[in-house]
Amino acid sequence: MAEPRQLPTAIAETYMLETTPEEDERGSVGELLRRNWVPGVEFVQWNVVHSVAGALRGVHWHERHHDLIAPVAGTVLVGLADLRPSSPTRRLTELVELDARRPVAVVVPPGVAHGLYSPEPTTLLYAVSLFWDEEDEFGVAFDDPELGISWPCGRGDVILSERDRALPRLSELAPV
């Protein structure tokens, strides 16, 4: 199978991996990830996330681990916000669409906040480069205007967890 295309996002060190599946009369088979496609990062924990239509998860970030997010069913909008103090794209935001009909994953480095909005029922593979650690889990309200992610929905339109509903605004956090 061919090497993936690395599609950059507007945010430094954040990119999508897109591969081309092999197709025949039975359907298709495609690679999602090889260790050498994300140099210097090993994904040690893989999670399966099922979301109902209208669910929004996040916005969260981590200071120590990378994330890799790939849909296997449905479509997900990934909101990205660069909160790294020394990044050349600090405070830049972007909304990327991942569709399970084509093999694609987004690689999110430490310090880049990310939220996941499912406009339809969605199943994701979600990998992390360090085992989940509550001490490395940070969050901010998805609809904070200061955060600046242009979601196609508002607080009254989404299903949020209690935890995500209670996330603070950026102005309430230590400088990020």
Polymer length of the chain: 176
Give the pLDDT score at 102: 84
| Contact (Cβ atoms closer than 8 angstroms) between residue 153 and residue 115 | no
Q: Is the peptide bond before 59 cis (omega within 30 degrees of 0)?
A: yes
In this predicted structure, what is the pLDDT of residue 26? 86
Q: Does 119 reside within a domain? A: yes
Residue 93 covered by a domain: yes
**How remote is the C-alpha of 94 from its chain's centroid?**
11
Instruction: Quote the CA–CA distance of 112 and 54 in Å, as a whole number.
Output: 23
Q: Find, among 120, 121, 170, 106, the residue nearest to 142 by Cα.
A: 170
pLDDT of res. 34: 82
Sheet (strand 55-61) strand order: 93-99, 75-82, 112-118, 55-61, 138-139
Q: How many CA atoms lie within 13 A of 161 on its CB side?
A: 12
The pLDDT value given to residue 39: 87
The enclosing domain of 61 has a CATH number of 2.60.120.10
For residue 139, being part of any structural domain is answered with yes
Judge whether 95 lies within some domain: yes
Q: How many CB atoms lie within 10 A of CB 14?
A: 24
Which residue range is the domain that position 113 belongs to?
12-20+41-151
How many domains are there within the chain? 1
Q: Point out the residues of the chain with pLDDT beneath 70.
A: 1-2, 175-176
> 3-class SS at 123?
strand
At residue 135, the pLDDT reads 93
Dump pLDDT digits (tens) for 43-80.
999 999 999 999 999 999 999 999 999 999 999 999 99
User: Which 8-state DSSP code applies to residue 175?
Assistant: P
pLDDT (0 to 100) of residue 1: 59
In a domain, 35, yes or no: no
* Inside any domain, residue 5: no
Q: Is there a domain that residue 81 lies in?
A: yes
Looking at residue 5, what is its pLDDT? 85
DSSP state letter for 107: E
In a domain, 105, yes or no: yes
Alpha helices in the chain (DSSP H): 162-165
Say what the pTM is: 0.91
Tell which residue, 118, 103, 148, has the closest CA to residue 4. 103
